[in-house]
């Protein structure tokens, strides 16, 4: 049987592209995938994370992660894309959007940094921790969210896959205006203690150009609320 090239619309048009956050990898989307069946779905492995953890190091920048997203969308010739960023993934998809704007239909910020409120910046404590660790930042600040994942087995599986994050990815400018034609959605995890995303949520809640949702769960909503998150993504994609 001869392969059909270029690929048919059913594997390129209307694709959902999922971009994970800091310290985790493409594996964090696994609970969500069954509920996105029927759409072409692609999970990005950011450089130094997940299946690409062997590439980790302090040399990795935000530009590298933006290139990962743009490269996947362009290489696979995806169109009418719904681009989803979780947590730090919002800092990645925002500067990627201008480069692939003609391929996008919607963006979803899943408890993520979004270009609707000022970036709070990094704390002196984070600066010091990264400097003391050779430019790498260990997982931290979300321990209670991991505790809410459920069983001991779930928490162990999750923590075994965490990696250190290049601090350079946190310090680069990332905010850009979003194109008018792109549908914009924000999802806020209301049960995440000391959330870093409250300011973004408050800005989106009353913004006329944004769809806003709240879910009573921890920061890692794809584990606690996979069905609800999938429904929101599919709604944005439609």
**Residues known to be catalytic:** 87
Q: Which two tokens stand for residue 165?
A: 């994050």
How far apart are the C-alpha atoms of 233 and 108, rounded to whole Å?
Answer: 7
Longest dimension (CA), the chain: 60
**Opening angle at CA 47, ends 12 and 27, nearest 5:** 65
CB atoms within 10 A of CB 53: 15
Query: Among all chains, which residue has been given the structure tokens 């006329």?
Result: 208
How far apart are the C-alpha atoms of 203 and 186, rounded to whole Å?
Answer: 10
DSSP class of residue 39 equals S
Q: Is the peptide bond before 226 cis (omega within 30 degrees of 0)?
A: no
Comparing CA positions, the residue from 43, 58, 56 lying closest to residue 170 is 58
By the 10 Å C-beta count (0-12 exposed, 13-18 middle, 19+ buried), 48 is classed as buried
């Amino acid at each position: 049987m001869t392969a059909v090239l270029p690929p048919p619309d059913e594997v390129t048009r209307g694709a959902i592209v999922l971009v994970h956050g800091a310290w985790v990898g493409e594996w964090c989307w696994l609970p969500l995938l069954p509920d996105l069946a029927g759409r072409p779905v692609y999970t990005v492995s950011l450089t130094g994370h997940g299946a690409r953890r062997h590439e980790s190091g302090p040399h990795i920048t935000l530009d590298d992660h933006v290139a990962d997203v743009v490269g996947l969308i362009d290489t696979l010739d995806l169109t009418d894309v719904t681009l989803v960023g979780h947590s730090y993934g919002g800092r990645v998809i925002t500067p990627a959007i201008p480069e692939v704007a003609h391929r996008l239909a919607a963006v979803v910020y899943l408890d993520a940094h979004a270009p609707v409120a000022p970036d709070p910046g990094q704390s002196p404590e984070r600066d010091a921790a990264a400097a003391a660790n050779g430019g790498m930042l260990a997982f931290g600040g979300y321990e209670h969210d991991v505790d809410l994942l459920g069983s001991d087995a779930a928490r162990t599986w999750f923590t075994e896959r965490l990696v250190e994050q290049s601090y350079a990815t946190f310090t680069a400018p990332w905010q850009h205006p979003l194109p008018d034609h792109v549908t914009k959605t924000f999802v806020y995890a209301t049960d995440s203690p000391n959330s870093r995303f409250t300011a973004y949520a408050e800005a989106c809640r009353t913004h006329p150009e944004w769809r806003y949702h709240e879910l009573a769960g921890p920061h890692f909503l794809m584990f606690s609320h996979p069905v609800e998150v999938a429904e929101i993504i599919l709604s944005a994609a439609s």
